[in-house]
Chains A and B, each alone.
Chain A
Amino acid sequence: MTTSEAGQGVSGPPTEGFLEVPGGRVHMFRGGAGAPVLFLHAAGGAGRWHEFHELLSRRFEVFAPDHPGFGGSDGFPELEGVDDLVFHYLDVIEALGLERPHVVGASFGGWVAAELAVARPDAIGSLTLLGPAGLRLPEHPVADLFLMTPEQVVGALFKDPARATALFPGEPGIDDVLAAYRDMTALARFSWHPFLSNPKLERRLHRITARTLVACPADDRVIPVRHGARYAELIPQARFSQVDDCGHAMYFERPGDFAAVVTEFLAKVEAGTQQSGASR
């Protein structure tokens, strides 16, 4: 896919390509047809079109970029914090020519999505936060993925670690280790300190006007479910739901359930939008 093609509507199997924005190139998957959905990935999962994306793209047009410094995207070394990522994703939305896309973010991507919705409530069609990071709740600490060995990470992320074995078979090679180190380096750049949170975010959430769903995996050992519940309390009229028998790996562990929850919510938002006569 060339840069120009990234801005045009497509349907069917996903296409993979690069989008040129100020500061560098964004690696992105794009697939399906329907209302546009901008999906912001978690700390893991960059650079891949997952089963979850595929399921979502049956009903919507899914745009799945890699964050700066993650997966196949350029490093964007001048971006230092999540506030910079908000402006970055406004650039991405503009470069793609999207009007008020639905924004869906998981974990770290959920934090970015929430900050985007706070900064530009008018710029998004709806907000979906899946097991979101971003709040500082000292009574409910977030697990320190930075200090875990790969085996410990798998144990923390999956309710059933056996499911991880099927997803990641075999010993990683040097290039796999380096790619994972690059992703973690980008994550650390944006979230080492304050740790995976913006202490000011809580008192800004009231500014969100988009219809919002917060969905959390019931057995989250990385970001306690309390974080999602807190988001749902503070975002006006947000809905909250849980996906049972699932760890923080969410769309890795239960792609079908998470795709169903998100699809159902977005379909309702779309139906409501059409009834009220609003258009995107």
Chain B
Amino acid sequence: MKFVFFHLMPYPFLPDDFDESYPSPSLTFPSKYFDRELGNRLYHRYLDELENAEKLGFDGIAVNEHHQSAYGLMPSPNIMAAALARRTERAQIMVLGNAIGIRGNPLRVAEEIAMLDHLSNGRVVSGFVRGIGWEYFASGVNPTRSRDRFNEAHDLIIKAWTADEPFQWISSNYEYRYVNLWPRPVQEPHPPIYIPGAGSTETMKFVAEHGHTYMSVYAPTPLVRRWFDGHRQAVEELGIDHDPVKSAFSVPIYVAETDEKAHREGRQHIEWLFHRGLKQSFPQVYPPGYMSPGSMRGMLMSGMKPYTETSYEELLAGGYAVVGSPETVTARLTELQAQLGFGQLIGLFSIGDITSDEMNRSMELFANQVMPALRPLGVANRVTAAS
């Protein structure tokens, strides 16, 4: 099992009337609620947490991109990755990911990831995401072009990283008469690529065909299982043995000394994440054309409730989050691994309005007591557990 410490960098200090007065912490939640002083301290606390994760034995430390939202304070994940690159030595620095669907210029992403690969001496992982629905409102990019732009930008970036000679790129969304990347990345042919999936069969095939890593998003276990199975089948249909490490399970985790203490402390943080952080209207998440008709039908048929209507108990039972003592968390993650078959765990530890002390204790308990027990799981047969 490979372990990733993932950060969202939330802004937890919402006004008392947030629940009644604001439809979402994203897009239209006024920036006057961003306290400059508190926000400043958060950035440094969060970067400390990411650096500390390397010391505790995590294999990767991960950041991501969100815009105009208290849900996450990283409009530019590459800046966060740069801050980490020279302060860490061993862990992979994972940008999960750059929202290439809404970027004006994908070549800028190619350039920045290549630079980060040098700053980190070849430790960069490059995730690509389409961007959440509300970010199409925030950027002005037409959501009906989302998938095209994503696919074209993906192909363009990989070609830019790997081409030996200048080339011309003309596609429906981008036209560059000269592409000639300086610098090239350290890793050859290019940094590993991670892509999240949420049920679309197009994405499963796309990830399989390119040999990328498939990441889950927060959803009930039976759905995640369908996604991981679909991705694995897509890989096997290509005649390739599926390596479990290419199935990455994302989940918020809170560990305390006892189950009772974990629930008493952890409940409000999990509730913050799902009931406040992820509070969003249907059109905010699914602007027109963002979903293909097939994916939209699948989503409607799945009967998945909005996060805000899913109770703490349902979130735990559904596998959206894992909370408990080290023994309970180990048992629960072992069970989920057996059901889902993942070989990579992307844990969100700094959850919602968690305090720094709670977070550090949870992370230490996880690293010292849970990680060793899970380490041998989810490893491909032909690879030894020691690797």
Contact = CB atoms under 8 A, between A and B. Distances in A.
Interface of A: 144, 146-149, 174, 177-178, 181-182, 184-185, 187-189, 192-193
15 contacts: A146-B287, A147-B281, A149-B282, A178-B293, A181-B288, A181-B293, A182-B293, A185-B144, A185-B288, A185-B289, A188-B142, A188-B288, A189-B142, A192-B136, A192-B142
Contact of A177 (B281, B284, B289, B300): B300
Given A147-B284, A148-B283, A149-B283, A178 B289 contact: no
A193 B287 CA distance: 13
B290 to A, nearest CB: 9
B144 A189 contact: yes
B143 interface: yes
B140 interface: yes
Interface in B272-323: 281-284, 286-289, 291, 293, 296-297, 300-301
Interface string B18-42: 0000000001000000000000000
B143 A181 contact: no
Given A146-B283, A147-B283, A185-B288, A192 B300 contact: no
Contacts of B143: 188, 192
B142 A193 contact: yes
Contacts of A181: 286, 288, 291, 293, 296
Contacts of A185: 144, 288-289
Contacts of B286: 181
Given A174-B300, A178-B300, A146 B137 contact: yes
Nearest to A173: B300
Contact of B288 (A149, A174, A187): A187
Interface in B122-168: 136-137, 140-144
Given A178-B293, A178-B300, A188-B289, A147 B137 contact: yes
B291 to A, nearest CB: 8
Grouping DSSP codes into helix (H, G, I), strand (E, B) and loop, the A interface class, with mixed when no group exceeds half, is: helix
A149 B144 contact: no
Nearest to B27: A147
Interface residues of B, number: 22
Interface of B: 27, 136-137, 140-144, 281-284, 286-289, 291, 293, 296-297, 300-301
Contacts of A192: 136, 140, 142-144, 288
Nearest to A195: B140
Contacts of B137: 144, 146-147
A199 to B, nearest CB: 14
Closest CB pairs A-B (n = 5): A188-B288, A184-B288, A185-B289, A192-B142, A185-B288
Given A147-B284, A149-B281, A178 B297 contact: yes
B135 to A, nearest CB: 13
Contacts of A174: 297, 300-301
B296 A193 contact: no
A123 B268 CA distance: 65
Nearest to B300: A174
A185 B283 CA distance: 11
A178 B284 CA distance: 16
Contacts of B282: 149
Contacts of B301: 174
User: Residue among A144, A182, A184, A192 with the most chain B CB within 10 A?
Assistant: A192
Contacts of A188: 142-144, 287-289
A144 B300 CA distance: 24
A181 B299 CA distance: 13
Contacts of B281: 147, 149
Contacts of A187: 288
Which residue, A181, A182, A187, A189, has most C-beta atoms of chain B within 10 A? Answer: A181
B103 to A, nearest CB: 15
B71 to A, nearest CB: 17
A174 B137 CA distance: 25
A174 B301 CA distance: 8
Contacts of B142: 188-189, 192-193
Nearest to B137: A147
